[in-house]
Amino acid sequence: MMNLTSPPGTVEMDDHALIACAQQGDRQAFTELVTRHQDSIVSLTYRMCGDFRLAEDAAQEAFVRVWQNLHSYKPQYAFRSWLYRIATNAALDSLRRDRPTTDLDSLSLADPGKTPEQVAEENLRIGHVRRAIAQLSEPLRMVLILREYQELSYQEIADVLYIPVGTVMSRLNSARTLLRQELLVLLEEA
């Protein structure tokens, strides 16, 4: 069994080593991969679904699909792009199958360091932002989420969504323009 802990900066290399083990059926190596990428994948699916229950379900489904398709993964491809593509599809499938049941604004944002007024104000602001994002069309929303929240490069986004880099840039510009119009009041306050 390989050493599953890795020094900073060698994550991608170790991912490939873990994948190689997982491809041989090593479930512990696969569990390490899941643990390592859980945060980013749940974050991605949460941004796409807007519902934590759906997001976790989609993230788990994404990892199951990764396991089922490990044999088709080739090390010359970036694992993160491959994983994000699978997670994006899982989130979209989840959304199509099961619409969010939780109101976007109802998620708890309580912070013990803030007064109730501050929390209420923040809830209002974040609710406004979520509504604005939810109003974007699916292609624009996906590019925006991958860039702003997941901080993927244009090329990585293009790889995840199978679109040209030029399309990534134009969609991102459109999404930001629409958001700026929608969130003008909040931006002026800032």
Which chain residues interact with other proteins by CB under 8 A? 23-27, 30-31, 34-35, 38-39, 42-43, 46, 52, 56, 59-61, 63-64, 67-72, 107-109, 122, 125-126, 129-130, 133, 147-149, 153-154, 169, 172-173, 176, 179-180, 183, 186-187, 190
Q: Which is nearer to other proteins, 13 or 64 (CB)?
A: 64
Cα–Cα dist 24/12, whole Å: 19
Q: Which is nearer to other proteins, 92 or 122 (CB)?
A: 122
Residue 2, φ and ψ in degrees, nearest 5: -75, 160
CA distance 6 to 133: 36
Residue closer to other proteins by CB (options 137, 153) is 153
Residue (of 148, 153, 177) closest to 165 by Cα position: 153
Q: How far is the CB of 130 from other proteins (least distance, A)?
A: 7
**Closest separation between CB of residue 182 and other proteins, Å?**
10
Secondary structure (DSSP) of 19-57: HHHHHTT-HHHHHHHHHHHHHHHHHHHHHHHS-HHHHHH
Cβ neighbour number for residue 105 with a 10 Å cutoff: 13
Longest dimension (CA), the chain: 56
Q: Which of 137, 155 has the CB closer to other proteins? A: 155
The residue (of 16 and 125) whose beta carbon lies closer to other proteins is 125
The nearest distance, CB 2 to other proteins, in angstroms, is: 14
User: In the complex, what is the shortest distance from the CB of residue 24 to other proteins, in angstroms, rounded to a whole number?
Assistant: 8
